[in-house]
Structure 1
């Protein structure tokens, strides 16, 4: 690689990182501001949960229609549109002091995030080849780091500028990311707009059991991530911990997530068999939720640390393992879209369920228990995700769509 190509590659990595940093702050900043939002807009727990559920549901729908989005917008242009959409949605929150405005901006934020998440994994595989796993891990690191920054800065921003500005301020980094992306991706490999599906006939992933296993796995991992962002801070405030310390607990959780995902981005290639990491992450997540249920005040920082490490491994790995199954960038992107589409829809129900249970019982112990059980049940899936099983997956896929696998 010559010096010019090296600089271009570094700039492209920077653009991907900046984009990923903008995929969660508009959601994670809501949790620490729940009291102010609820009082100002008159929204109950279910309504507050919708501010997380709506964007996540949009992510799922965006992933399901990733092929159509790629066809209509192209990868480079679509990602640009996604970043600008996030910026506009955040900016509009300056005037979103009622339920209608908040839900509308949540819908728009979700649309922007959905477009980027639908297109970026395939783009990464197209441009980074054998380094795809490391770049996906870096991309995931940016997502959880953005969540950490969003949640950690929310209370401080509210104290100094008000909660409207605390939510709207995230339009600025989104615009910066859009401009860096436009410059960095100019000479990259990307699939452009087309009046026909360049990927050929759609692949019926739904016919293959492994696809559903990975979809459920992604849904549980992402659901744990979204649940922690939305409800850890309000949960501890409800237990009598002051808002500042509850915000710190959420920040500790998300910072540990980000550091763990960053560690994974540097070490992932040392683990061609991902099962050990997956099993470890699921056990840590289950333990964290069980501590929240049974002894939340005994060692709160240990509890959030366990969740942080577990989710920091589980969230990026659930994407990486799906990408591992196929070599062709477009096909892998479509497969990841299928997994993420259904997974995000499952994940969107988790914070909504938490809000409903909290409204009925004024207690989040039930959702902590459900997530612990769900995490432990995923161990059955994790132990079957051996590298050798990818070969069988390709054979199963070849059986339903042979012409699509000639490039893999």
Structure 2
């Protein structure tokens, strides 16, 4: 598949629309953690059960990745993203009327499916429309994803305080989906369809060892993201912080993710071998978790900053390294869909494991230690990503 060239003005509006769409890919999950103690007053949830609110949508994201590209081929990428935004918006809005844990979990799963369909399509779109600066635009896209998490984590507790309702704190983000829908729908006349690959069947990467390595690496890195998203605020509430301050701390972490998500790909864009950059990000994550465990009340702003800088850069870099393996946008999109599909299935289990550890040990520290060990393993894995060998691993 050839790259599709778009006019500069069109490219600007398309990128603005992509950013607005990306802002909707985390609020349905990020708003839950800061409001969890209030939710548990009205809805009986153990920490293990509450983990399902993050785990199941992430698992749904993983499973939906595998049919997202097929759906886009039938409906077209523009209509597929319109449909996905509608699903996310309706699932989010439905939380105004939910009274049980099951209903809350179903809304989370529905949002996860909509999120996955968008995430399956966007790497292909960016690779084809912005082929000369893939790292920069992937960084902007992923940064917007984390920016949506920052907004939800920071503002949802404030909305709850002002309205007296955690349901409004969760449901208000449907307005963001509506805004994105308006902008994205306006691109229908200027967004040319992706060229089709003729009768060639969609490539499968299930038998490719490098694809599995990339998927496991992405999944382990995203496990840190999903666990922090789910449990950082409850961890600090247990340390004696208010819900609002704990939410602001999570907002600070996600703000650092936004900064790193912008800066790190811009730095990495100048070099073919990105292993040094990724290793530096992993070291930041290890330091952040160690500080969270050993000194949560001292330098309490530093540890979320380190975690945010590390996780925020690692997320786009994991996808960029996957895209770098292939020049053809459609093949690269299929690879990243596989990487995200398997990766989100791996990452989806992590909040549940952390919740079980919390229920069994009475503290989240065991979960933080486990994630520290996982990140150390990733330092060894990153040595395998030598760009000189990409062609040999994925022909």
Common fold, TM-score beyond 0.5?
yes
Q: 1:337 to 1:183 in 2, by over 3 A?
A: same
Match of 2:20 in 1: 18
Match of 1:400 in 2: none
Alignment partners' CA distance in 1, 2:127 and 2:199: 15
Alignment partners' CA distance in 2, 1:54 and 1:198: 36
Contact 2:268 2:277 in 1 (8 A): no
Displacement of 1:186? 2.6
Contact 1:66 1:334 in 2 (8 A): no
* Residue correspondence of structure 1 range 346-365 to structure 2 within 5 A: 346-365=346-365
The two structures, once aligned, show a CA RMSD in angstroms of 1.7
- TM-score, structure 1 normalization: 0.92
* 2:310 is aligned with 1:307: no
Q: Secondary structure at the match of 1:190?
A: coil
* Residue correspondence of structure 1 range 8-157 to structure 2 within 5 A: 8-157=10-159
User: Across the two proteins, how many residue pairs are aligned to each other?
Assistant: 389
C-alpha deviations, 1:40-84, integer Å up to 9, x for none? 111111121111111101110111223322233321111111111
Alignment partners' CA distance in 2, 1:185 and 1:165: 32
Q: Secondary structure at the match of 2:7?
A: helix
Displacement of 1:188? 2.2
C-alpha deviations, 1:176-206, integer Å up to 9, x for none? 10121121253223338x9xx8572343422
Answer with 92-101 or 289-298: which moved more.
Answer: 289-298
* 2:178 is aligned with 1:175: yes
Displacement of 1:227? 0.9
Alignment partners' CA distance in 1, 2:365 and 2:194: 46
* Residue correspondence of structure 1 range 256-267 to structure 2 within 5 A: 256-267=256-267
Alignment partners' CA distance in 1, 2:132 and 2:335: 18
| Structure 1 gaps, min length 5 | 398-408
Q: 1:204 to 1:115 in 2, by over 3 A?
A: closer
Displacement of 1:113? 0.3
Match of 2:244 in 1: 244
Alignment partners' CA distance in 2, 1:271 and 1:232: 34
Match of 2:3 in 1: none
- TM-score, structure 2 normalization: 0.95
Contact 1:126 1:190 in 2 (8 A): no
Q: Secondary structure at the match of 1:207?
A: coil
Q: Secondary structure at the match of 1:381?
A: helix
Q: Secondary structure at the match of 2:200?
A: coil
Q: Which runs of 4+ in 1 moved over 6 A?
A: none
Displacement of 1:108? 1.0
Alignment partners' CA distance in 1, 2:101 and 2:53: 10
